[in-house]
Amino acid sequence: MQRARRARIILGVDAYRAWAQIDLDALSHNLARIAARTGPAVRTMLVVKADAYGHGAVAIAHHAQLCGVRAFGVGDSSEALALRESGVRSRILVLGTIVEEEASAALRHGIEIALHSSDRRRFLQELARRQGRMARVHLKIDTGLGRLGVLPHKALELLEEIASSSHLELAGVMTHIAAPNGALDSYTHEQLASFDSVLAQARERGLLRGVIHAANSACVFTAAPLYDCVRPGISAYGVLPGALPGAAELEPVMSLHSQVVFLKDIPQGAAVGYGSTWIAARPTRIATIPCGYNDGVAWRLSNVGEVLVRGARARIVGRVSMDYTCIDVGDIPGVSVGDRVTLVGAQGAERITLEELAAKAGTIPYELSCSVGKRVERLYVGGEPASERDWLTPAPAREPRTDSVTPPRASPSHPSAAPLSPTGHGP
């Protein structure tokens, strides 16, 4: 089972080469802001695929249950089963597709499955019949993303097939919005018009069952139709790409840190990094941090990215390598081995955001948070009161440093929500 770690205290030494601090109080805040926008009649299915966008799906899901979330969206069945194994009993929907070898375990554990085709309908019907159970499915209609889902003109036929299947239960009908700016893009309205047309016809024929869901983070914050349920992902973690309205309401959940492990004074003309892409224009001091593109420092930040050291910005110099990154600290007084380096987050008055890094790297914030590697420790702060539940285990501690930002707020572990029937609660 995946384990989450809590921040504790150790004398004067940061205990990890690299760590991501995950603020559960910020997650609570963001979920509350989402709920305020959707209203009490619309339920939330929190998207925790890709290890909750790099934040740690098990810990995020357990805390989200304490915040009232009763359904989760994942990318594949392995992610769903990991949540079940950790004790998550809320509804879990595989938003994408599953391979046939995964389906049996998914049905046994009450995982709901997106349905895209008649072939997959026949397969799930037969598998569920052999297991003697009902398979809960969500029909996915491709209204314009072009990736997965039945086309609108074939959706009614597939709904009729589901209705006539003895071991399938229609738990929902869904679509996937293509535009990254939600309702601010006319294409979103075209997609939803197509979706609404299918829903209306299905309702007339008595084929509509379960929850209706389409809205992602961008749709929630741009006043798109919300239907019965919304599927926020990146906004729950404190990011709204493209400066969408409401971005200022959110708090970043993740910050990413490392520490200086080596310092070297170099002369003018000295080269740094693979390919000698950076040459010192003056004598300076180079600090090496044990954090590279395997840990979430995008290779495209080579020679353009910045980090924070002692509350000041320092430029990444040379190419980011797999395990290490070099930074120019020649203009920052007093830098020492062991100093904290913040790659995402705040030190003093300075802050580096995922959005800033994504712009410099020519990518999107999603990619950066998802790329935070497995060897980066996740340290969880904030959250609910202490409990004997062991889904969170204590972590080696860290001590505040006079040269760094306020250290993680030590907070004991908290329980998961009381066990829930996988099919008995929202969304």
- In sequence order, what DSSP letters do the residues of 276-340 get, joined into one string? G-EE-SS-EEEEEES--TTTT--GGGTTT-EEEETTEEEEEES---SS-EEEE-TTSTT--TT-E
Q: Which of 49, 227, 237, 366 is flagged as catalytic?
A: 49
CA–CA distances in Å: residue 31 to residues 234, 321, 397, 416: 11, 36, 28, 17
Q: Can you tell me the distance from the alpha carbon of 158 to that of 161, in angstroms, rounded to the nearest whole number?
A: 5
- Give the burial class of 219: count Cβ atoms within 10 A of its Cβ; 0-12 exposed, 13-18 middle, 19 or more buried: buried
Q: Beta-carbon neighbour count of residue 86 at 10 Å?
A: 18
Asked if 226 and 219 count as a contact pair (C-beta separation under 8 A), the reply is yes
Catalytic annotation on 360? no
CA triplet 251, 252, 257: central angle to 5 degrees?
145
Structure tokens at 52: 């909750």
Asked if 247 and 240 count as a contact pair (C-beta separation under 8 A), the reply is yes
Beta-strand relationship, 278-279 and 135-140: unpaired
Helix (H/G/I), strand (E/B), else coil: 249:
helix
Catalytic annotation on 274? yes
Q: Can you tell me the distance from the alpha carbon of 128 to that of 109, in angstroms, rounded to the nearest whole number?
A: 12
Cβ contacts of 50 within 8 Å, gap of 6 or more = 75, 370
Any bridge partners for residue 170, and if so which? Answer: 137
Q: Can you tell me the distance from the alpha carbon of 300 to that of 387, in angstroms, rounded to the nearest whole number?
A: 43
Q: Which of 187, 227, 274, 293 is flagged as catalytic?
A: 274
- Which residues are part of the catalytic machinery? 49, 274
